[in-house]
Structure 1
Amino acid sequence: MQRHSTRVPRRPVHGVLLLDKPLGFSSNQALQKAKWLLRAEKAGHTGTLDPLATGVLPICFGAATKFSQLHLNADKSYETVVRLGVTTTTGDAEGDVLESRPVTCSVGQVVEVLDRFTGPITQIPPMHSALKKDGKALYEYAREGVTVEREPRAVTIHELELVDLRLEGHEPFLRLRVRCSKGTYIRTLGEDIAAALGCGGHLSLLRRVQTGPFDAGQCITVEALEALPDEQRLQRLLPVQALLPDHTAVTLDSDNAARFLSGVRRRGTWSDLSRVAIYGPPVGTSHTPVLLGSGHTQAGELIPGRLLSPIEIQQILEPAT
Structure 2
Amino acid sequence: MTRRKKGNPVHGWVVLDKPMGMTSTQAVGAVRRLFEAQKAGHAGTLDPLATGILPIALGEATKTVPFAVDGEKAYRFTMRFGVETDTDDAEGKVVRTSGVLPTLEEIESVLPDFTGEISQVPPAFSAIKVDGERAYDLARAGEAVVLEPRWIVVEDLRLVDMPDAATAVLEAECGKGTYVRALARDIGRALGSAAHVIALRRTRVGPFDEQMSVQLAALHDAAEAGDLGSLLQPVEAALDDLPGLSVGPGDAVSLARGQAVLVRGRDAPVLNGAAYAHFKGRILALGELEKGAFRPTRVFNFG
Residue identity opposite 2:227 in structure 1: Q
The superposition leaves residues 156-210 of structure 1 with CA deviations (integer Å, 9 ceiling, x where unpaired) of: 1111110011563xxx111000000111000000000011111201000000001
Task: Using the TM superposition, name which of 99-108 and 245-254 deviates more.
Answer: 99-108
After superposing on structure 2, the runs of 4+ consecutive aligned residues of structure 1 that deviate more than 4 Å are: none
Residue 302 of structure 1 pairs with residue 294 of structure 2: yes
Q: Say whether 1:119 aligns with 2:119.
A: no
> Counterpart of 1:301 in structure 2: which amino acid?
A
1:266 and 2:261 are equivalent in the alignment: yes
Q: How does 1:207-218 map to 2 (within 5 A)?
A: 207-218=201-212
Shift in CA distance, 238/166, structure 1 to aligned 2, threshold 3 Å: closer
Q: How far apart in 1 are the matches of 2:83 and 2:263? A: 62
Which residue identity lines up with residue 290 of structure 1 in the other structure? R
Q: CA deviation at 1:148?
A: 2.9
> How big is each residue's C-alpha offset from its partner over 1:34-85, in whole Å with a ceiling of 9 and x where there is no partner?
1111111110001100001100000000000011112111000000000110
Alignment of 1:153-302 (within 5 A): 153-166=150-163, 168=165, 172-228=166-222, 229-269=224-264, 270-271=268-269, 272-280=271-279, 282=280, 289-302=281-294
Counterpart-to-counterpart distance in 2, 1:268 and 1:109? 55
Counterpart residue number, 1:146? 143
- d(CA) in 2 for partners of 1:106, 1:253: 62
Aligned to 2:3: none
Q: Which residue of 1 aligns with 2:34?
A: 37
The alpha-carbon deviation at position 149 of structure 1 amounts to: 2.7
Partner SS for 1:146: coil
Q: CA deviation at 1:30?
A: 0.6
In 1, Cα distance between the equivalents of 2:231 and 2:257?
31
Q: Displacement, 1:230?
A: 4.9
Structure 1: give runs of 5+ residues left out of the alignment: 1-8, 283-288, 316-321
Cα distance in 2 for residues equivalent to 1:37 and 1:263: 33
Moved more, 56-65 or 247-256: 247-256
Distance across 1 between alignment mates of 2:163 and 2:259: 62
- Tell me, yes or no, if the aligned pair for 1:67 and 1:306 is still in contact at 8 Å: no
Aligned length: 293
For 1:57 and 1:90, the matched residues in 2 are separated by: 21
Distance in 1 between residues matched to 2:190 and 2:263, nearest whole Å:
56
C-alpha distance in structure 2 between counterparts of 1:19 and 1:142, whole Å: 29
For residue 105 of structure 1, give the secondary structure of its aligned residue in structure 2: coil
Cα separation, 2, equivalents of 1:291 and 1:167: 51
Cα contact 2:80–2:196 (8 A) shared by 1:
yes
Provide the rounded CA distance (Å) in 2 between the counterparts of 1:232 and 1:11: 15
Secondary structure of 1:242 counterpart? helix
TM-score (norm 1): 0.88
Q: Kindly name which structure, 1 or 2, has the bigger radius of gyration based on alpha carbons.
A: 1
User: Which of the numbers 45, 50, 53 marks the counterpart of 2:47?
Assistant: 50
The alpha-carbon distance between structure 1 residues 47 and 104, as it changes in their structure 2 partners (threshold 3 A), is closer
Partner Cα distance (2:217, 2:261) in 1: 47
Identity, in percent, stands at: 37
Q: Which residue of 2 aligns with 1:65?
A: 62
- CA shift, 1:119, in A, is 1.3
Distance 2:60 2:81 in 1: 45
SS state of the match for residue 226, structure 2? helix
**Range with greater deviation from structure 2 (180-189 or 289-298):** 289-298
Amino acid across the alignment from 1:262: R
Counterparts of 1:166 and 1:115, CA distance in 2: 22
Residue 104 to residue 259, structure 1, CA distance change in 2 (3 Å): closer
List per-residue Cα deviations over 1:210-258 (Å, max 9, x = no partner): 1111111211111221122352222100110111111211122111110
Aligned equivalents of 2:12 and 2:226: distance in 1? 14
Deviation at 1:97, TM superposition (A): 2.1
